[in-house]
């Protein structure tokens, strides 16, 4: 299992709304994530909107993203979430994630 960490940024004025949407992620989206190897997936946020994500996946982060790219529900979710993020205009949120290098692990 590969451990993956990534970051991206939620717009400061939309943080609370973003959190509310994540209290009720669409069931079809949750199913798609599971189908594509997103396990132990968590999101953590700083006060300023910096978001840290963590997941475990059997292959690579790229493979997990590519699997999700094939899911129609993911396209809808990314379009819905796009206004919440800072970053590169015109790209869906899942293409703005910056994967972090793992530098330490304690089991």
pLDDT at 88: 63
Q: For residue 63, give the H/E element and its range.
A: helix 61-69
Residue 11, pLDDT above cutoff 80: yes
The pLDDT-based confidence of 3 (bands split at 50, 70, 90) is: very high
Q: What is the mean pLDDT of the chain?
A: 92
Task: Judge whether 85 and 50 are in contact, CB under 8 Å.
Answer: no
Question: Is 22 tagged catalytic?
Answer: yes
Residue 86, pLDDT above cutoff 90: no
Domain ranges of the chain: 2-100
pLDDT at 56: 97
Residue 26, pLDDT above cutoff 70: yes
Q: Which residue of the set 3, 19, 22, 76 is catalytic?
A: 22
Which CATH topology does 2-100 take?
Alpha-Beta Plaits (3.30.70)
Neighbours of 37 (CB within 10 A): 19
C-alpha–C-alpha distance, residues 33 and 27, integer Å: 10
- End-to-end alpha carbon distance in the chain: 13
- Please name the residues in contact with 95: beta carbons below 8 A apart, sequence gap of 6 or more: 65, 88
Average pLDDT over residues 100-104: 94
Average pLDDT over residues 71-100: 85
**Structure confidence by residue, pLDDT tens digits, 37-64:** 999 999 999 999 999 999 999 999 999 9
Which of 104, 85, 78 minimizes the C-alpha distance to 26? Answer: 78
Q: Is 98 exposed, middle or buried (0-12, 13-18, 19+ CB in 10 A)?
A: exposed
């Amino acid at each position: 299992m590969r451990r993956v960490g990534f970051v991206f940024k939620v717009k400061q004025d939309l943080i609370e709304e973003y959190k509310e949407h994540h209290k009720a992620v669409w069931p079809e989206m949750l199913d798609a994530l599971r189908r594509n190897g997103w396990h132990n997936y968590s999101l953590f946020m700083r006060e300023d909107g910096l978001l840290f994500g963590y997941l475990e996946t059997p292959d690579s982060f790229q493979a997990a993203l590519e699997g999700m790219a094939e899911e129609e529900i993911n396209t809808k979710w990314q379009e819905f979430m796009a206004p919440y993020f800072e970053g590169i205009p015109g790209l869906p949120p899942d293409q703005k994630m910056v994967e972090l290098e793992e530098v330490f692990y304690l089991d």
